[in-house]
Structure 1
Amino acid sequence: MKNKRTIILTSVMCMLPEILSVILYKRLPEQIAVHWNSAGEVDGYFPKALAAFGMPVLFLLLNLYSNIRLLYDPRREGHSKVLRAISIWTVPLTSLILVPATLFIALGAQIPISALSSSVVGILLIVTGNYLPKSRRNYVMGVRLPWTFHDPDNWNKTNRMAGHIMVAGGVIILLSGYLQQIAVLYGVSIIVVITALIIIIPFFYSFALYKKEKDKNPLT
């Protein structure tokens, strides 16, 4: 019952910006900016109907997907409580902030969207990185690989190392929103670079730990 209430509440929060969309709809331009590059320049537009009414629906679907996976994880006892709360509330809060910001920018409001986005992503990575090592093996949170599920020691070491990368990456992304000279690295967004490192380095680190243990104990 508690899980159902959580899903209903977060879903309602995702859809609340629809009220603002109805109020502002006639004043909105036909094309609305929905994506900005690392330099703060618009590089993506949606028709106003899709931006005003479609984005909350997209967040609703993301919320349903993430919360059903999270709340009905058979190994949910392994979740970090802090990461669990972050995972539950990130999507609805993002909808409540991002959709109104997008609509007001379309109407001419001066909102530093790049700095705002970098700040949110950076803070999320820093907090997640701090609490990632506290998660035990589960199907939703953490670095979930065949080798981390195979060995709890591999899980612990890999997630501890991944947490350090997340914290360092979060600090860099946080700064990149205000220091444009580090927002792009050789033409590639620093967020893309950090995301790639968070995925790739723990993967090979976990595999290396597995191979080392396998070489020591070839029969296991």
Structure 2
Amino acid sequence: MRKNKLYYGTLGISIITFLVNILVYSKLPEKVPVHWGINGEVNRFGSRLELVGLGALPVVMFFFLNYLPAIDPKKESYKMHKTAYSIINLVIILFLSCINLIAIASALGYHVPMQKVVPMLLGILFIVLGNYMVQIRHNYFVGFRNPWTLASEYVWKKTHRFGGYVLVMIGLISIVASFLGTIGMQLFFAALVIGVVGIYLYSYLLFKKNS
């Protein structure tokens, strides 16, 4: 897939995130928070090396996402949804980078209201994914892939339009959840499960109706 400005911008963000981890490594305590519960409290500590390892995740994910089009039998589809795919890559890398940098800030002693920040970031992620998912063409790696969407381009297209609305709704619920505390995250996870089941059920029923 031909490289564009979004490609280089996303690559830059992933590299900068990793470099920040390297630069602050010596300033981090030996034990740092690496996981938070739905109440926003730290529920697992790890080594600072583990945290820096997570800082490499955006770079790894960047190259993984940009490698997929080369091995997809339907690689021509990526030319048709190049911009949408690039934006999806960007928002995923931004999300991973923000989570890592927030973890670093917390490890350095800064107060970060994780219970508010993470649902807000998740909300933005899902809203962007929902808006661009409808543009994703038939392929084997990206989108709502199940036996029914892969078997029919018609079902693929309809499912991605429906699924896009579902993701936006989940994103909005996540943003609202950032103001509701623990119950808000429970509401988000419930919406996520219901949404995913609903998308798969929609695909199946649509396929059965048109087969």
Structure 1 residue identity aligned to 2:94: L
Query: Quick one: which of 183, 195, 198 aligns to 2:195?
Result: 198
Correspondences of 1:63-212 after superposition (within 5 Å): 63-70=62-69, 73=72, 74=75, 75-79=77-81, 81=83, 83-180=84-181, 182-184=183-185, 189-212=186-209
1:35 alignment partner, SS class: strand
Q: 2:34 aligns to what SS in structure 1? A: strand
Deviations 1:48-107 (A, max 9, x none): 1221x21122222222111211476512134273x3232221344235433332122112
For 2:14 and 2:3, how far apart are their aligned partners in 1? Answer: 17
Structure 1 segments unaligned to the other structure (5+ residues): 215-220
C-alpha displacement of 1:152: 2.8
Q: What corresponds to 1:58 in structure 2?
A: 57
Alpha-carbon offset, residue 15 of structure 1: 3.2
Q: Secondary structure at the match of 1:87?
A: helix
Whole-angstrom CA distance in 2 between matches of 1:93 and 1:134: 20
- Tell me the distance in 1 between the aligned counterparts of 2:13 and 2:48: 21
What is the TM-score when the length of structure 1 is the normalising length?
A: 0.79
CA distance, structure 1, for counterparts of residue 198 and residue 80 of structure 2: 23
Question: Which amino acid in structure 1 is aligned with residue 16 of structure 2?
Answer: L
Question: What is the CA distance between 1:112 and its match in structure 2?
Answer: 1.9
What is the CA–CA distance in structure 2 between the aligned matches of 1:42 and 1:160, rounded to whole Å?
37
Q: How many residues align?
A: 208
Normalization by structure 2: what TM-score? 0.82
RMSD, aligned α-carbons: 2.8
| CA drift at 1:40 | 0.8
Q: Structure 1, residues 97-151: CA drift from partner, whole Å, max 9, x if none?
A: 3333212211211122232221121122122223322333233433222322333
The one-letter amino acid of 2:167's match is: M
Matching residue's letter, 1:133: V
Secondary structure, counterpart of 1:183 in structure 2: helix
Question: 3-state SS of the aligned residue for 1:134?
Answer: coil
| Code of the aligned partner of 2:123 | G
Give how far 1:190 is off. Answer: 3.6
Superimposed CA distance per residue, residues 171-208 of structure 1 (whole angstroms, 9 cap, x where no aligned partner): 11111112115324xxxx34433332332211121111
Q: Does the residue aligned with 2:145 lie in a helix, a strand or coil? A: coil
Write the distance in 2 (CA, Å) between the matches of 1:18 and 1:160. 35
Give the C-alpha shift of residue 12 in structure 1: 4.8
